[in-house]
Every structure is written in structure tokens, then in C-alpha cells.
Chains A and B, each alone.
Chain A
């Protein structure tokens, strides 16, 4: 065999090997995705066609000789043969033109295809599969799914370890920080943590029942914030007393939340997190955006994952 063909095969094999390695990398390889397959097929065709067509002409340089009838003209001594068109080239050119016209007029006439229509079908198929396969998963699988959501959607703000990247977003390994509790009391909150418009009053609206319903003081705010942020541990602290006098009526005796009144603050619950994803949140740290690209299962899963980080606390 001619050395050239050998080279051709080596080059082709190298390129295809590289392409193969590329595909091997992927989670799930070609993923059963027709687009992936066609792209790879295109890449393969590109290498093979170019290499072997060029070899064909190089062989002609090596073995053939130039001949034909020369035209009478010459420009700066450049002559020109009156050779006919290379047959294969001419046929393929004609062929592609005919094919193009066919495609245009008969095959897929102007309005026969709609990319949005194709998209809608694709989404419907995907959703059907999603509902069939994932709608009912729970437990550790749900947490795993949540981790996958978290890693693509949330890490940019909350960080890989969910610690909030130096205070730039909430640290999700704990329920709530001192700073955030204090902020809630100082400024009140008007979000939708429990899914309704129910608002947390600001400090001017928070009265201490232990203390003749006087407005909450700076000292009391610090105490109760510490108590809440520490996870309601020290039941004998000053903060616990303030909590009982000021907060219990809305948040429950131990911060477990009261339906329709105020959210749980002694730990996470799934609905609370889903509400955050549905409505966003503005607080001490900043603004958490609405994550409306996620479907309800994905939100539930993300919630399960967040809860798993602090084991529900």
C-alpha cells in the first residue's frame, strides 16, 4: 500500500480517536441524543472525506502527467488547459443543486418546519419521561436529585459547601444566623416565607409581654437573636425569656412555626424552602432570586438536599 494511504489512515484514526475520547468524557456518553450523534457523524465525515479526497489528488501529482490542449491566451506566461470539468465534481455540483431545489420546494417547503414546534414536542417528551421516572422518588434518592439541582443552580451564590461564600448568601448548613434574626426584628420582613402575604412586624411592632408590652429593646433584640441563632438551646437564657414574651405567639413556643401565622425558625421544612424558591427572599444578606425555571419536583428535591445539610436543623 502506498505510504500516503497509510498516513491518511493514521491521521484519520488520530482525529477519530480524539473525537472518541471527547465523547467518552461525557456523563452518559452520547446520551442517546440524536444531535450528539449527528455532530459526531459530521466530524467523522469531515476528516475521512477531506483526507481521502486530497490523497486522491496527491496520487495524481505523484503518478499522472499534465496534458491537454492549451488555450491560446497566456497571462504573464501562465497558460491554461482546455480540459473538461472533472466528472465527479460536476455531477455532485449538479446533484447538490437539484437536491437543494428539491429540499426547498418539495422536501421541506417554506413553512413545513417550525423550530418552536419541534421544541414543544421535545419538552413534552422530556416532561412525560420526567413525570414517569421521578415524580414519586423520595428519601435518599430525592436528596441526591436535590444535590444535582443544587450543583447546577445554587452553587454560584451559596458555594459548593453551601456556606454562602463569606456571607454573600445564606449559609444553608444552619437554619439562620444572628445577623439575619436581628435584621428580621429590626426591619421586619414582608416576603412570602409561608406562602402568604403575612408579614413579620419591625421592632416598633414587637412588644414584650413579660415587660408590660413595651417595645422590644436593643438589649432584648441581641439576646433573642442569639437564642434563635444558637438553635433554641439555652432555655434559661435571657433570650429564651424574650422569645416567650414576644415571639411565641407567632412562631410557636420553640420556634416550630404556626400554620398561617409565621414560619418555622428552629429548623428547615420543605415548604419553607420551596416558598423561598417560588417567591425569593430579601433579608439581611441581600436578595435571593426567584428560581422559576425549576419544576415543583426539582424544588422539592432542592429542599430535601438543603435539609439534609443540617439534618433538618
Chain B
């Protein structure tokens, strides 16, 4: 082992920090537009009816989901990996010019991929499968990016000086493997150009069009095996990787319990995949697949809560830190929202509850208390923690960070409470029969009642977006105007007033 501290090289981490922020703004702005389009449908033609094809709700919705998932979240995962990975493995990117090159290559191919994805979705080129909308050329590019990341990850691991892998690394490895497996199988599709010779042609229609390998119920099974676990390995596993590093590091506390980390990790790995059936309750998949999905969803509460509890207990006796640091607040509240959504999910996975919740805004509420309160908070906290160490400057403003925290918290609360009420209301109205045994409500009755909730959700989302812009500004000022640091802070990140 070397004596002098390592100089870590954050070039690639910085690149992905930038894209995290850019795609965050893009994706969330589209989210806010979507939210207001449902409250005030006139906004569908916001750029005039000539452009309505590109600005209406249905064309923009996949752009929102894919830009926050494959843009914001995945960038956040890469950015934190290229920071955390080096540090917990005790090896610098600068030590291998090959890994450095591959990291940069990964970034640039990623940029091209995202650009292609955005353009194709705007044009309506989608396969319709949620979170797997892209046609095969984009799929291939995504696979290339992913493989490059894997090579980098295992390259760094191969060079490591720390013999034993830190918990965060477990979770990053799982992210890599999980997404790789899921993405490949769910995107099995036959490009149509392979079949055009039967008509004596070499080329018919769009060259990038494809047909899914699976049909109907089978396609649904594979898609939700993917969809459910994409949530697992995109919104849960890598975010847990982040909290396991950033919370103890920022607070200077040791992890509460190794055993708890261990059981939570392997429990999560084992249980998660079995629960996908909860997206298909009361559908045409066999009853036993549905029951299995429900049962494992309940079991899943425990390994999920295990990590959150481990984090909360890591802060045992450290309330003064929670009170003083908005950065730690983000992580503590994030863990709390993680607990909330991993209890809400299993409750919605109970068949009788799902009978009401499925297809309604209650699901959308569940999604967003997870993604806003947990994924968003953790990624921002990670970047805040990284900024002083990467840019060697103090965080520009603590008070700005504190206001951001409260604004966004209010935003999340407005979002999920309004959707909770909207969803239960709508679900119950769909089921209601009147005094004559007829359906009590026509469909449109169940739409117009939602108007106030859609408006409140829009406001909540807007607050969250405003908070994100404040975050962006704070990071930008940190880079350019933060007070310079002579040495790296050991734990608590220094912040200007």
C-alpha cells in the first residue's frame, strides 16, 4: 500500500454529473408540462396546433419517463460510480489510461445514444413497452454503453487495493448485472427488414422497425418481469449503493450493522425478482403467477426496510447533525420516503387493494414518492457531497440548500397526497353501482372529479422542479464561485452561508 493519499481522477464523474443535471431539468420540466396538460388540456397545443403532434401528452409521456430514467437516474448512477468506485476500491482512474479512455468513450457514446433516443421518441418511434420504448438501433447503443460501464467497473475492481468489496460496490455490481439481463431479454425483437425478402424486396418501410419476439400475455409477462425489476435495479439498488456511501461518509458515522447490510442485500437480490407478477394482477396471466407476485411483494418489505433502518440507525445519537445539515436531511428524508414507498408498493400488491389501485393515479403517486423523495433526493445529495471534493471548493450556499430542501419536500408531499386521493377516488368510482344496480358513473364523471388533484399535483411538481433549478444554480456557483478548499474535508461538506 502507498503512504501518500491517492489522487483520484474525477474527469468521467464530472462529465456524468453534468448530464445528471441537464437531463434532470429536461425530464422534470416535461413532467411538469405533462402534469398541467392533464389539469388544463389546452396546454397540449402549447406551441400551436401545428406542433401539437410533438407537444401533446401522449407523445411527451415516454420522453418524460425515459429522460428521467435513462438520462437523469442512470447518469447519476454513472457519476456516483466513477466517484465512489475509485474511493472504496482505493484505486484511481488515472492509474489506467485504458480505463480512462473507456470511461470517456462510454460517456460520448452515451450522449449519442440519448440524442438518438430523444429524437426517435419525439418522432413517435416507440415499441410501446414502458421503460423499454426504444427501437433496436437504440437498444444496441444502450448495450454498448452498458458493456463499457461493466468493463470499467470490473477493470477498477480488478485493480483494487482494498481486498474486500464495500457494500456500495455490491449494489453497483447488482445494478450492472440486473439491468443487463433484463434489458436484453425484454428487448428481443425481430427487425422487419429480415423478412422483406419474401416479397422479393430488400427494403420495405422503416428500416428501424421491429416486431416483438413475444406475443400477448407472454409479452406482458416478460415486459413486467422487466418493468418491475427495472425499478429494482434502476431506482432501488443503485440508490441504496449511494446512500450506503454518502450517508456514513458525510456524517462520519460507521455503518450500524454489517449483518443487517448483508441480509438486506441478499434478501433483496433473492426476493425482488419474484414479485413482478404484481403488475399483472387480475390479468390473463395464470392465477398462481399473480399470487406469487403478491406474496413476494409482502416479503420484500423487509429487505427493503433493512437498508433504510440500517441508515437511520447509523445516525443514532446524531440528531444534531440532522438538524444542522440540509445535506443529511436529504438523505434521512430520502430513506424515509424509501420506507414509505416500499410499504406502499406491497400494500398495492395485495390483490384486493390492487383491484382499486391498478390503472389509477394512486400508482402514479406511489411511483413519485419513490422517485422524487428517494431517487431524486439521493442523487442530489450525492452530487452535493461530491461537489466540494471534485471541484475543491466549498458548497456555495447552505441556506439555498436548506430552502431547496423544504420547497422540494412540500412538492413531494403535494404530489403524492393529491395522487393518493385522486387514485382512490377514481378507483372507487369505477366500481360503484347506484341504487338501481347500474354503473353509478360514466367514465367522464371519473375524469372531471380529478381536476383539482391534477392541478395540485402540477403545483407540487413545479415546486420540485424549482428546487432542482436551485440545486443546479448552487452547484454551478460552487464550481465557479465557491470558496477554494486547501484540503479535502474528511466528512461534513463545508458550505458557505
Partner-B contacts on A (CB < 8 A) = 15, 18-19, 21-23, 25-28, 31, 33-36, 38-40, 42-43, 45-46, 49-50, 53-54, 57-58, 60-66, 68, 70-71, 73-86, 89-90, 92-93, 96-97, 99-100, 103-104, 108, 110-111, 113-115, 126, 129-130, 133-134, 144-145, 148-149, 151-153, 155-156, 298, 301
Cβ-defined contact, A156 with B164, below 8 A: no
- Answer whether residue B437 sits at the interface, using C-beta atoms and an 8 A cutoff: yes
Cβ-defined contact, B353 with A39, below 8 A: yes
A84 vs B313: C-alpha distance when bound (angstroms): 12
- Answer whether residue B417 sits at the interface, using C-beta atoms and an 8 A cutoff: yes
Cβ-defined contact, B258 with A82, below 8 A: yes
Cβ-defined contact, B424 with A156, below 8 A: no
Chain A residues whose C-beta falls within 8 Å of the C-beta of B437 in the assembled complex = 126, 129-130, 133-134
- Answer whether residue B356 sits at the interface, using C-beta atoms and an 8 A cutoff: yes
A-B contact pairs, 19 of them (CB 8 A): A15-B420, A18-B417, A19-B420, A19-B424, A23-B428, A31-B432, A50-B339, A60-B313, A65-B316, A66-B254, A80-B258, A81-B258, A83-B260, A96-B302, A103-B295, A111-B287, A145-B436, A156-B444, A298-B438
Which of B30-38, B195-203, B303-311 lies at the binding interface?
A: B303-311
A68 vs B256: C-alpha distance when bound (angstroms): 8
A138 to chain B, nearest CB (A): 13
- Answer whether residue B101 sits at the interface, using C-beta atoms and an 8 A cutoff: no
Chain A residues whose C-beta falls within 8 Å of the C-beta of B433 in the assembled complex = 31, 126
Cβ-defined contact, B427 with A49, below 8 A: no
Cβ-defined contact, B257 with A81, below 8 A: yes
- In chain B, positions 83-98 with a C-beta closer than 8 Å to chain A are 87-88, 90
Known: A28-B432, A77-B490, A97-B299. A35 touches B340 (CB 8 A): no
Which of B213-221, B245-253, B380-388, B391-399 lies at the binding interface?
A: B245-253
A79 vs B425: C-alpha distance when bound (angstroms): 48
Cβ-defined contact, A38 with B353, below 8 A: yes
Return the CB mask of B409-444 against A: 1 if under 8 Å, else 0.
000000001001100110111011111111111101
Interface centre among B257, B429, B437 (most CB of A within 10 A): B437
Chain A residues whose C-beta falls within 8 Å of the C-beta of B87 in the assembled complex = 75-76
- Answer whether residue B325 sits at the interface, using C-beta atoms and an 8 A cutoff: no
Chain A's closest residue to B310 (CB) is A86
Cβ-defined contact, B312 with A57, below 8 A: yes
A54 vs B164: C-alpha distance when bound (angstroms): 32
Chain A's closest residue to B333 (CB) is A54
B203 to chain A, nearest CB (A): 40
- In chain B, positions 441-476 with a C-beta closer than 8 Å to chain A are 441-442, 444, 449
A66 to chain B, nearest CB (A): 5
Return the CB mask of B89-119 against A: 1 if under 8 Å, else 0.
0100000000000000000000000000000
Interface centre among B249, B282, B322, B440 (most CB of A within 10 A): B440
Chain A residues whose C-beta falls within 8 Å of the C-beta of B438 in the assembled complex = 145, 148-149, 152, 298
Chain B's closest residue to A117 (CB) is B287
Cβ-defined contact, B429 with A26, below 8 A: yes
Chain A residues whose C-beta falls within 8 Å of the C-beta of B4 in the assembled complex = none
Cβ-defined contact, B434 with A27, below 8 A: yes
Contacts A39-B424, A42-B350, A80-B254 known; list 4 others, CB within 8 Å: A39-B428, A61-B317, A80-B255, A100-B295
Chain A residues whose C-beta falls within 8 Å of the C-beta of B90 in the assembled complex = 76
- In chain B, positions 128-168 with a C-beta closer than 8 Å to chain A are 162, 164, 166
Cβ-defined contact, A113 with B313, below 8 A: no
- Answer whether residue B478 sits at the interface, using C-beta atoms and an 8 A cutoff: no
Chain B residues whose C-beta falls within 8 Å of the C-beta of A103 in the assembled complex = 291, 295
A60 vs B444: C-alpha distance when bound (angstroms): 49
Cβ-defined contact, B356 with A78, below 8 A: no
A32 vs B115: C-alpha distance when bound (angstroms): 53
Cβ-defined contact, B340 with A50, below 8 A: yes
A79 vs B257: C-alpha distance when bound (angstroms): 10
Chain A residues whose C-beta falls within 8 Å of the C-beta of B439 in the assembled complex = 152
- Answer whether residue B292 sits at the interface, using C-beta atoms and an 8 A cutoff: yes
- Answer whether residue B7 sits at the interface, using C-beta atoms and an 8 A cutoff: no
Q: Nearest 3 pairs between A and B by C-beta? A: A79-B254, A93-B302, A65-B317
Chain B's closest residue to A110 (CB) is B288
Cβ-defined contact, B313 with A96, below 8 A: no
Known: A96-B302, A100-B298, A145-B438. A78 touches B256 (CB 8 A): no
Chain B's closest residue to A86 (CB) is B309
Partner of A75 from the list B162, B263, B313, B353 (CB cut-off 8 Å) is: B162
Chain A residues whose C-beta falls within 8 Å of the C-beta of B21 in the assembled complex = none
Partner of A66 from the list B259, B317, B435, B440 (CB cut-off 8 Å) is: B317
A61 to chain B, nearest CB (A): 4
Return the CB mask of B331-348 against A: 1 if under 8 Å, else 0.
000001001100110011
Cβ-defined contact, B432 with A19, below 8 A: no
Cβ-defined contact, B254 with A18, below 8 A: no
Chain A residues whose C-beta falls within 8 Å of the C-beta of B257 in the assembled complex = 68, 81-86
- Answer whether residue B26 sits at the interface, using C-beta atoms and an 8 A cutoff: no
A156 vs B299: C-alpha distance when bound (angstroms): 45
- Answer whether residue B60 sits at the interface, using C-beta atoms and an 8 A cutoff: no
- Answer whether residue B58 sits at the interface, using C-beta atoms and an 8 A cutoff: no
Cβ-defined contact, A76 with B249, below 8 A: yes
Chain A's closest residue to B306 (CB) is A89
- Answer whether residue B301 sits at the interface, using C-beta atoms and an 8 A cutoff: yes
Cβ-defined contact, B316 with A61, below 8 A: yes
A288 vs B260: C-alpha distance when bound (angstroms): 65
A144 vs B249: C-alpha distance when bound (angstroms): 69
A242 vs B357: C-alpha distance when bound (angstroms): 62
A90 vs B435: C-alpha distance when bound (angstroms): 49
Partner of B287 from the list A28, A90, A113 (CB cut-off 8 Å) is: A113
Cβ-defined contact, B343 with A50, below 8 A: yes
Chain A's closest residue to B490 (CB) is A77
A77 vs B5: C-alpha distance when bound (angstroms): 12
Chain A residues whose C-beta falls within 8 Å of the C-beta of B322 in the assembled complex = 61
